[in-house]
Structure 1
Amino acid sequence: MEKQEFLSFVLEDEEYGVPILDVREVRGWNAVREVPNSPDYLHGLLDIRGEYVPIVDLRMRFNLPPAVICSTTVVIVLNDANKHPLGVIVDAVSEVYELSDEEIKPAPHVSVTVDQSYIKGIAAVESGHLILIKLEALFDIKELNNTSVEEATA
């Protein structure tokens, strides 16, 4: 039985996870360049070693109250299948879990506050349950894909 590692993070009182192989880095908060006429959940673009990375507030994307940016704010920089980066603001990074496919169950269609299109599944962990995020859904945010890097960097 092959297992996969997931980096978990907290939003409000829920624990979420993403495949650790898709995590480029975890970093503290840095000032971002605002993007004119961008969606509310897009905080802006962050220059990471010469590459502009969109920074998304996952709380707002998941219809939760916006993140409070402070010295403990964490940004997880993720890669999609084509190695395009996306930064997500989270409350805190918590654990690394090793899970098999058999341990990941389909998400129920009720009792979860996040839009079902973002949920890959749910797994039982020591702290309760871990909601696994579909990265392809995060990277397929149409409004984000229409955001102009040129406008923000001009």
Structure 2
Amino acid sequence: MEYSMLADIDTGEQSSQFLTFIMADEEYGVEILDVQEIRGWEPCTEIPNMPQYVKGGINLRGTIVPIVDLRQKFGFNNIKYITTTVVIVVKVLVEDKSKTMGLVVDAVSDVHTIAHSDINLPPQLGLDTGPRVIRGLVSIRDKMVVLLSSSLLLDLNQFQNIEQINEHKTQQPMATND
């Protein structure tokens, strides 16, 4: 059995580390074990038939990685990408397979170790919001941080469309120099 939590040596309390980031003047976090790398913003290639919040894809070491603008996904106002705009590349588990996607955020903030007992469940508002992307809420230095479940940020159909692009790319014959 795998655990993505770290044990606090002093108390034995279970905790996890989260990378926090800024989006629309609020702070969010994803589990650090899901983070593969952090990249500066660069334009990406548009992928047809994707929701508007899927900005496109980038070629990351031979794999097409979907880029998701979290501002658009969550319905926030769009802003122009600037020098602090970054893409957090995360590994997610989709149907027991590891997938990679990039999350466009305003800026990276910090890394925090958070005790599981400090994570509060998100409020139940009676809204049908589809898969729950909010893992929980935590107060850090008197500021509320929304912890996200990165595996639920892009649905299965969107990953399948990107998989088809990756398969098509690998099936094309390589050009030869004759």
> Alignment RMSD, CA only?
2.4
- 1:17 pairs with 2:18: no
Partner Cα distance (1:35, 1:67) in 2:
21
Partner Cα distance (1:50, 1:57) in 2:
22
- 1:146 pairs with 2:175: no
> Aligned pair in 2 of structure 1 residues 59, 145: CA closer, same or farther (>3 Å)?
farther
> Aligned pair in 2 of structure 1 residues 116, 109: CA closer, same or farther (>3 Å)?
farther
- 1:48 pairs with 2:60: yes
**Identical aligned residues as a percent:** 36
- The answer for the alignment partner of 1:94 in structure 2 is 109
Unaligned 5+ segments in structure 2 are 1-12, 173-178
> Aligned pair in 2 of structure 1 residues 74, 13: CA closer, same or farther (>3 Å)?
same
- Report the AA paired with residue 84 of structure 1: K
Tell me which of the two structures has the higher relative contact order, counting C-alpha pairs closer than 8 angstroms and 6 or more residues apart.
1
> Aligned pair in 2 of structure 1 residues 127, 74: CA closer, same or farther (>3 Å)?
farther
TM-score, reference length from structure 1 = 0.86
Give, in angstroms, the shift of residue 80 of structure 1: 1.1
Give, in angstroms, the shift of residue 43 of structure 1: 0.7
- 1:65 pairs with 2:74: no
Partner Cα distance (2:28, 2:49) in 1:
29
Partner Cα distance (1:119, 1:142) in 2:
20
Q: Which has the larger radius of gyration?
A: 2
Residues 131-153 of structure 1: per-residue CA shift (max 9 Å, x gap): 01012211435345435526x96
Partner Cα distance (1:115, 1:12) in 2:
22
Unaligned 5+ segments in structure 1 are none
Count of matched residue pairs: 151
Partner Cα distance (2:121, 2:109) in 1:
22
